[in-house]
Structures are given as C-alpha cells and as structure tokens.
Amino acid sequence: MTLSTQDSALRTPIIALTAGEPAGIGPDLCVLLAQQKPAGSRIVAIANRSLLAERAAQLGLPLELVDFSPAAAAPDRAGVLEVLHRDLSEPALAGKLNPANSRYVLDTLTAAAQGCLDGTFDAMVTAPVHKGIINDAGIPFTGHTEFLAELTGTAQVVMMLVGGGLRVALATTHLPLKEVSAAITRQSLEQVIRILHRDLRSRFALANPRILVAGLNPHAGESGHMGREEIDVIAPVLETLRAEGMDLAGPLPADTLFTRYQLQGSDCQLAMYHDQGLPVLKFASFGGGVNVTLGMPIIRTSVDHGTALTLAGTGKIESGSLTAAIQLALEMARNQKADRP
C-alpha cells in the first residue's frame, strides 16, 4: 500500500482517522464526519465496517462505506466514508464497554501509525479510547501518547493541547502525581523543551517560539521555601537553553502563568504535569481543542475529550474538536512539507 515520496508530495493529504473505543462516541464522530467532510483532505476511517454501519443506523444518518485503496479516486459525496476495515472480537454496543474488543482498538492505532510511517497516510487523527478497559483486558496502557511513542520507536514525546488561544505542553504525561517530581530530571526536561522548541518551529511555523515554563511547587517554590525542584532542576535547564538562544520564561508560578499579563506574547505554555495544565486548557476550549503528540516521526492529533459513553449512539454529541484536530493535522503536514528542503 506504500506510496512513493513524490506521489505523497503531490496528492491531497490522506488522514487516517481511528474510531477509538467501539462503545464510545468515536464511531459516532466518524459517521458525523462523513456527512460533511473537511475540504482539502481525504479521510480514511480505520474501524470496523459493521460497527460504523450500525452506529449510523442508530443515529438515523446515511452512510455508504467504501474500502480504502490509495490508488483509487476518493469519493467526495456527502454520506460516503472510506474505511480500512479491522475485525472486532465481539459485536460492540453503544455505551457498553467490553474488554474483548481492546485488541481491536490497539489494532486500529497500529494500522494508522504504520500507514503514517510507510507514507500511505500524511497524518493520523484519533477518536477517544478508554484507558481503563484496555487495562482490564490485561494490556498495560496509559494513553495513545505513550503507545505511539513506543510503536514509532520514539524515546521521548511531548503531549501538547491546543485551543482557546493556548498551546499547553506537558513535561510529564500520564503519571500518578506521586511520581511526577522524580520524573522531572534535568535531562528529561531539557529533552522535552528541545522537542517542543523544534516542533513549534517545524510543524507550527513559529520561527522563535516564546515558551512560558511553569514551576512545580506552589509559587514556583517561593525561593526554595516550598520545594526545591525549581532551583535544582528547572532553572538550570532554562539557563542552559537560553544560552543557545531559546526564548524561555520561568520557572513561573503556575497559578498566575495563565493570566493575561503573563500570557501576552507567548506561543506556548509548558506545565510540569497533566492536571497543572490541562484543566486550564479544557476550561478555555473543551469541545474545540486538539491534543497533539510532538517528537514523533509521524503527525498525530486527537480530540480533546474522552469516550463519553453515555452519549454514544444518542446523537447528542458535538464534533467540533474532531474538526479542529483534522484541520490542525493538515496544517502541521503543510508546515512540515514547507520546512523540508
């Protein structure tokens, strides 16, 4: 299925859309997307065909599924969706989690990522998965971010969410709070900032991004009286990287980093852990934000919300975050092409 580099540079970008947890709202999102496809892209749902057809019937929406073939012309009628079929272990019901189908979920992610690596797809966009049910199936799983890092052989990735005028990146991803401090070492933080800086330049076309860096402790440690990570780890890393010309502010108290005074002129905000940064981002833009994985050889964006099990099959969901995730993936693919000699 591999395409040559020349073909891939000339064609309409092809985006792999993984449908996520089959009991959640991912299949609904695919059906909604088929009704009004974003211009300038070709979307291929990686999902189970019967599941998509059943969910469309449940939603009362038209859906014609066409098997994806890279060489064939993309159908551009409303209600038609190209699909790369994957087998479910058991039929999926909206709202009812079933660990038997967790392998299917990971299979869709693997197919999308491998297609990005071999040039079949220009980017992958992910609908939400349910981390708990994958673990219940006996498969350790903390998130797409870590799963895709491993699959693409990337030692360090950076999670960043974009929305509401913010770009909030995280120094650590899905970690229990008690493990956060030990995970932030000079080496790991330096690597996170290098990846962030590089990808903001190459994929977001920001020539010299200004990055605000949060402290870890209340009031950024209050000069060492409320924790020493700022003095021992964060400040020395910032000093090293500033000497190379990076525009870095911090370590800043996290509670005021997101005020309009501090945000002015910044391009990105680096939080030290998941719930230091993401509540702010989601308060500002939930339903329209995008989750991006930086540092990988492939482009991956995602919706900013979860599986919303109680809404699956009801027709009561919003799809703005999916639309934004596709738009951002396209923009990143364009910027990446422009950045390459």
Ligand X SMILES: NC(=O)c1ccc[n+]([C@@H]2O[C@H](COP(=O)([O-])OP(=O)(O)OC[C@H]3O[C@@H](n4cnc5c(N)ncnc54)[C@H](O)[C@@H]3O)[C@@H](O)[C@H]2O)c1
Q: Which stretches of the chain bind ligand X, using CB under 6 A?
A: 25, 128-132, 144, 291, 302-303, 305-308, 310-311, 317-318
Query: With 0-12 CB in 10 A as exposed, 13-18 as middle and 19+ as buried, what is 27?
Result: buried
**Subset of residues 284 to 303 that bind ligand 4TP, contact rule: CB under 6 A:** 291, 302
| Partner whose binding site includes residue 97, from ligand X, ligand 4TP, none (CB under 5 to 8 Å by kind) | none
The item of ligand X, ligand 4TP, none sharing an interface with residue 288, based on CB under 5 to 8 Å by kind, is: none
Instruction: Decide which of ligand X, ligand 4TP, none touches 278; Cβ closer than 5 to 8 Å per partner kind.
Output: ligand 4TP
Q: What's the CA gap between 213 and 267, in Å, rounded?
A: 11
User: Which of ligand X, ligand 4TP, none has residue 145 at its interface (CB below 5 to 8 Å by kind)?
Assistant: ligand 4TP
Instruction: Answer yes or no whether residue 229 interacts with ligand 4TP by CB under 6 A.
Output: no
Question: Residue 42 touches which of ligand 4TP, ligand X, none (CB < 5 to 8 A by kind)?
Answer: none
Interface residue with ligand 4TP, options 42, 144, 167, 197 (CB under 6 A): 144
Residue 144 Cβ vs ligand 4TP, minimum distance, rounded to whole Å: 3
> Does residue 152 belong to the site contacting ligand 4TP (CB under 6 A)?
no
| Three-state DSSP string of the chain | CCCCHHHHHHCCCEEEEECCCCCCCHHHHHHHHHHCCCCCCEEEEEECHHHHHHHHHHHCCCCEEEECCCCCCCCCCCCEEEEEECCCCCCCECCECCHHHHHHHHHHHHHHHHHHHCCCCCEEEECCCCHHHHHHCCCCCCCHHHHHHHHCCCCCCEEEEEECCEEEEECCCCCCHHHHHHHCCHHHHHHHHHHHHHHHHHCCCCCCCEEEEECCCHHHHCCCECECHHHHHHHHHHHHHHCCCCEEEEEECHHHHCCHHHHCCCCEEEECCHHHHHHHHHHHHCCCCEEEEECCCCCEEEECCCCCHHHCCCCCCCCHHHHHHHHHHHHHHHHHHHHCC
Q: How far is CA 198 from the centre of its chain?
A: 17
Name the residue nearer to ligand 4TP (CB basis): 48 or 291.
Answer: 291
Which of the ranges 8-16, 141-149, 227-235, 323-331 carries the binding residues for ligand 4TP, by CB under 6 A? 141-149
Least separation in angstroms between CB 189 and ligand 4TP: 19
**Amino acid at the residue 22:** P
Q: Which does 47 bind (CB under 5 to 8 A by kind): ligand X, ligand 4TP, none?
A: none
Nearer to ligand 4TP, 200 or 281 (CB): 281
In the complex, least distance from residue 97 CB atom to ligand 4TP, rounded to whole angstroms: 16
Longest dimension (CA), the chain: 65
Q: Which is nearer to ligand X, 48 or 217 (CB)?
A: 48
Residue 120 labelled as part of a binding site:
no
Query: Which residue number places its CB atom closest to ligand X?
Result: 306
Question: Least distance to ligand X from the beta carbon of 236, Å?
Answer: 33
CB of 317 to ligand X, least distance (A): 4
- The amino acid sitting at 16 is A
The minimum distance between CB 131 and ligand X, in angstroms, equals 4
Beta pairing class for 42-47 and 123-126: unpaired
- Number of amino acids touching ligand 4TP (CB under 6 A): 7
Using an 8 Å Cβ cutoff, are 115 and 16 in contact? yes
In the complex, the smallest distance separating the C-beta of residue 323 from ligand X, rounded to whole angstroms, is 11
d(CA 291, CA 273): 15
274 is in an annotated binding site: yes
**143, 215, 251, 313: residue in contact with ligand 4TP (rule CB under 6 A):** 143
Q: Which residues contact ligand 4TP by CB under 6 A?
A: 143-145, 278, 291, 302, 304
Residues annotated in a binding site: 144-145, 174, 219, 274, 282, 291, 300
Binding residues for substrate: 144-145, 282, 291, 300
